[in-house]
Structure 1
Amino acid sequence: MAPSRIASLLAGLWAGALLAVGLIGAPAAFAVLATPAEAGRVAGRMFSVEAPLSLALAMVLFLLERRRARDGGGSQFSTGMLLALGALFCTVAGYYAVLPMMDAVRAGQSTLTFATLHIVSTAFFALKGLLVLALAWRLSRPPASS
């Protein structure tokens, strides 16, 4: 299978996973479980699985895009590569930086509020979803005919 087809498949699967977690899984947990704390634990578990998956997929897609740019003789910083790096940044910032801050708020060790950090985390997740959708859209385009 060609690297461009693999990249397109991976980006589509990644976009689907993000949509499933953000639009189905987390809202369902809050709709069904008895307390917000229980639902938060379930949603947190989903995000704890999604974050390393996102890191891995971002790196694989970055490398595939880099190879495609190198083989095509184009710029080393293609739009696809920048979209993958943007999604990688959103994962690191939204999960690996904001989540410890949310834990500090729960422990009473921060001046920020949980709601503020939740909004920031949600914004990073939503932006990541948009970047991955844009990447999947770009990669699924048919190749330009010569």
Structure 2
Amino acid sequence: MLLERLRRLLPGLWAGMLLCIAAIAAPAAFALLERPVAGQVVGWLFQREAWTSVVLAVLLLAIERSRARAAAATGQGSVLSTEILLLLGTVFCTVAGYFALQPLMAAARAGQGALSFGQLHFISVGFFVAKLLCILALAWRAAGARR
């Protein structure tokens, strides 16, 4: 019962966190602080968001894996459910969009690398939006699921 409640609650909270960072915290930092300081603040926020996303994805993957295996055992689904695919999408977007691109962005600031900081930032935003869409779809599915 507790795991089912977590399965329904966590995706909505996770989506809310991402929306707050993207729509409130990051714009506020750049509106109120000098650009270099705002960049540091937003970088700090995105670092915490990335690690939180990894933890939430692992927790929800464990819950969804158990549900998918139970559904597959009764012939009512596959072990590779839509929810698991959405969570794997969020993991991919987090790893690629933050952990892989951050070192490249730091190098681009120093004038190294094939892509500019702006290009890498654009790619990073794309991964963030894709992750947000996966989480919103997951929250939608969890909210509409039958008990």
What TM-score do you get using the length of structure 2 for normalisation?
A: 0.93
The answer to whether residue 109 in structure 2 is matched with residue 106 in structure 1 is yes
**1:111, distance to aligned residue in structure 2 (A):** 2.6
Q: For residues 98 and 145 of structure 2, what CA distance do their matches in structure 1 show? A: 34
- Counterpart among 94, 102, 112 of residue 91 in structure 1: 94
1:65 match: 64
Distance 1:38 1:121 in 2: 20
Give the gaps of 5 or more residues in structure 1.
none
Contact preservation (8 Å) 1:83, 1:132? yes
TM-superposition CA deviations, 1:108-131 (whole Å, max 9, x none)? 221311110000000000110110
Using the TM superposition, give the Cα deviation of residue 107 of structure 1 relative to its aligned residue in structure 2, in angstroms: 1.6
Residue of structure 2 in register with 1:29 after alignment: 29
Q: Quick check: 1:4–1:68 contact (8 Å CA) kept in 2?
A: no
Between the aligned partners of 1:130 and 1:56, the Cα distance in structure 2 is: 18
- Unpaired runs of 5+ residues, structure 2, are none
- Are 1:125 and 2:124 matched, yes or no? no
**What is the aligned partner in structure 2 of residue 16 from structure 1?**
16
SS in structure 2 at match of 1:39: helix
- Indicate the percent of aligned positions where both proteins have the same amino acid: 51
Q: Please give the alpha-carbon distance, in whole angstroms, between the structure 1 residues aligned to 2:146 and 2:106.
A: 46
* TM-score normalised according to structure 1 size: 0.93
Structure 1 runs (4+) greater than 3 angstroms displaced = none
For residues 108 and 120 of structure 1, the distance between their equivalents in structure 2, rounded to whole angstroms, comes to 18
- State the distance in 1 between where 2:135 and 2:68 align: 18
| 1:76 maps onto 2:76 in alignment | no
The alignment covers a number of residue pairs equal to 143
Contact 1:7 1:64 in 2 (8 A): yes
Does the 8 Å CA contact 2:71/2:79 hold for their aligned counterparts?
Answer: no
Q: Does 1:116 align with 2:107?
A: no
